[in-house]
Chains A and B, each alone.
Chain A
């Protein structure tokens, strides 16, 4: 199996606190991985390190089989939408299509896929959920070999969750989803890992993720 992520002893420190510590992870080329865990357990930091935007403080990280500049193959949908507020949704997609030499004729289809209209309003007037849909459209446009999605269902209405789920299914390569909404994310994934205090506490099939998640909460006394 081709691996797009191979991490050994990966760690990232902010000041004296290790957000991710001694983490080993392998993700196959078409694997769908769900990352769950309580707030502050290091999910977002892990995605940022895997995106190469945050360098690791320790450990070994190999992306795309050791490609020297893997960034073109990585797509990130982070907490912020990563869009230009003064541009419309289609302008945003047009700008990135131009830079990455993609076909701009796909823009109306992409917007339709994530449930956005082709309208001239600037993104500044969009709701939080609409911005996340646009961020997902950008991800679909980029067609990355590794898509990293941080809370893709946050601020979404039920219709939006269904459209976003369908859009995530259409992503071509490996997908790593960090989400608290296990019941929405688990059906999209094949494997899951449970993080706590920067480390992987449990790894298994995605359909067992909710059980592991509840067990962790019981252990911590949250339930």
Chain B
């Protein structure tokens, strides 16, 4: 637990010191949302109907940049070797980094919501807490496998291309569940389906966070 907190503190400190990169990430998310709006055109109903999908596709694309950077800071000057000699435990390292990545995805997701509402003319018809919970579970569902995969390919050339190729197929269930829940919260949920989709998201998180925590040690030592 202490290792996890130490790694989380370190990653948050690095992000704070290099906060211009976080602003760039937010700008990237906003640009993607704007591009979706331009691509759909002036069809307000279509924009409103697919607002949840645009939000999550934006977050998914941002996550690849964020996750690649998160592991690059460990490998670019071989700081990971120093961590292993402290020594930090591999699960502690994984959970610290995955939580730090989740926190950043949550921030990007929450700050993107007002933009989605403005650009897509969307409204939140259900309680806003459902949307916050969806961002929380969806962001965590992207961060856990993303942290593992970014560590796997951190020393490879072409890793920025490899990461989405490996990550996207794995997180399809998370994205589908998150888009469904977000759409239900925005468009209305007369059949009370949002809860079921959130349970599904929670289950995927449970699988990803436990499995990736076990596998991360082998990846880092290799």
A residues apposed to B, CB below 8 Å: 51, 53, 69, 71-72, 74-76, 78, 80-88, 91, 95-96, 98-100, 122-123, 131, 138, 142
User: How many angstroms between the C-alpha atoms of A85 and B88 in the bound complex?
Assistant: 20
15 A-B pairs with CB atoms under 8 Å apart are A51-B85, A69-B87, A72-B86, A74-B85, A75-B85, A82-B77, A82-B82, A83-B79, A84-B10, A84-B79, A91-B17, A95-B6, A95-B13, A99-B3, A99-B88
In contact, A85 and B77 (Cβ under 8 angstroms)? yes
Question: Top 10 closest A-B pairs, CB basis?
Answer: A80-B78, A71-B87, A82-B82, A86-B18, A99-B6, A95-B10, A99-B86, A86-B14, A80-B77, A86-B17
Asked if B76 is at the interface of the complex by the 8 Å CB criterion, the answer is yes
| Contacting residues, chain B, for A53 (C-beta < 8 A) | 81, 84-85
In contact, A87 and B14 (Cβ under 8 angstroms)? yes
Known: A71-B86, A138-B82. 19 other contacts (CB 8 A): A51-B81, A72-B86, A76-B81, A78-B81, A80-B81, A81-B78, A82-B78, A84-B10, A84-B77, A86-B73, A87-B17, A91-B17, A95-B6, A95-B9, A95-B13, A98-B6, A98-B10, A99-B88, A100-B86
Task: Identify the interface centre among B18, B79, B82, B88: most chain A CB within 10 Å of its CB.
Answer: B82
**Which residue of B has the minimal Cβ distance to A80?**
B78
User: How many angstroms between the C-alpha atoms of A215 and B18 in the bound complex?
Assistant: 51
Could you tell me the distance in whole angstroms from the C-beta of A155 to the nearest C-beta in chain B? Answer: 14
B residues apposed to A, CB below 8 Å: 3, 6, 9-10, 13-14, 17-18, 73, 76-79, 81-88
Could you tell me the distance in whole angstroms from the C-beta of B132 to the nearest C-beta in chain A? Answer: 29
In contact, A84 and B6 (Cβ under 8 angstroms)? no
**Which residue of B has the minimal Cβ distance to A51?**
B85
Known contacts A87-B14, A91-B13; A82/B87 CB under 8 A: no
User: How many angstroms between the C-alpha atoms of A96 and B13 in the bound complex?
Assistant: 13
